[in-house]
């Protein structure tokens, strides 16, 4: 029996601006907005986002690893592009695409994370929940009618 899943991007929240990007310290820019968005979610059991959970096979934490440590929940990161150091990322073919997504995880095995990403029902290359979250991040909040 598979657990039920609720896709949270159906109720987006917006956070204030972020700090400038500093090479090697992406988590400093992105962790504060995650805190602001996730603060009231008591039933959060899994965080799925784009990018890498850890940055190399030795486990150097990326944003996903730091989010796992802070929120005490498993984190799956799904990257669209390969990262040279992340040779441990599991390539996953999704939808009808021949181009893989690269899956890493913190708080669960990368193989289990890859299975969950593979099972995300969708016809597109990028799973629907990530595609919708990406669109919201790029276009901003919906404008009232």
Phi, psi of 104 (to 5 degrees): -130, 165
pLDDT above 90: residue 1: no
Residue 125 or residue 8, greater confidence: 125
Q: Is residue 109 part of a domain?
A: yes
How confident is the model at residue 107, as a pLDDT? 94
What is the pTM (predicted TM-score) of this model?
0.78
The answer to whether 118 and 97 have CB atoms below 8 angstroms apart is no
Q: Is residue 116 part of a domain?
A: yes
How confident is the model at residue 75, as a pLDDT? 93
Q: Read off the pLDDT of residues 30-75 as tens digits, 9 standing for 90 and up.
A: 888 788 777 777 778 888 888 888 888 998 898 899 999 988 899 9
Question: What CATH number has the domain bearing residue 129?
Answer: 3.30.2170.10
The domain of 130 spans 21-36+45-139
- Burial letters 82-99, b for 16+ CB under 10 A, else e: eeeebeebbebebeeeee
User: Average pLDDT in the 17-39 region?
Assistant: 76
Q: Is residue 14 part of a domain?
A: no
How confident is the model at residue 131, as a pLDDT? 77
Q: Read off the pLDDT of residues 110-127 as tens digits, 9 standing for 90 and up.
A: 999 999 888 876 666 677
Q: Is residue 69 part of a domain?
A: yes
């Amino acid at each position: 029996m598979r657990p039920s899943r609720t896709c949270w991007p159906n109720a987006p929240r917006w956070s204030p601006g972020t700090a400038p990007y500093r090479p090697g310290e992406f988590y400093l820019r992105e962790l504060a907005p995650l805190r602001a968005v996730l603060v009231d979610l008591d039933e959060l059991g899994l965080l799925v986002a784009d990018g890498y959970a850890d940055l190399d096979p030795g486990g150097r934490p990326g944003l996903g690893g730091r989010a796992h440590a802070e929120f005490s929940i498993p984190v799956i990161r799904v990257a669209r592009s390969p990262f040279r150091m992340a040779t441990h990322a599991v390539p996953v073919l999704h939808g009808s695409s021949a181009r893989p997504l690269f899956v890493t995880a913190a708080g669960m095995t990368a193989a289990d994370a890859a299975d969950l990403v593979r099972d995300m029902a969708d016809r597109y290359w990028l799973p629907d929940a990530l595609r919708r979250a990406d669109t919201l991040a790029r276009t901003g909040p919906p404008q009232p009618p």
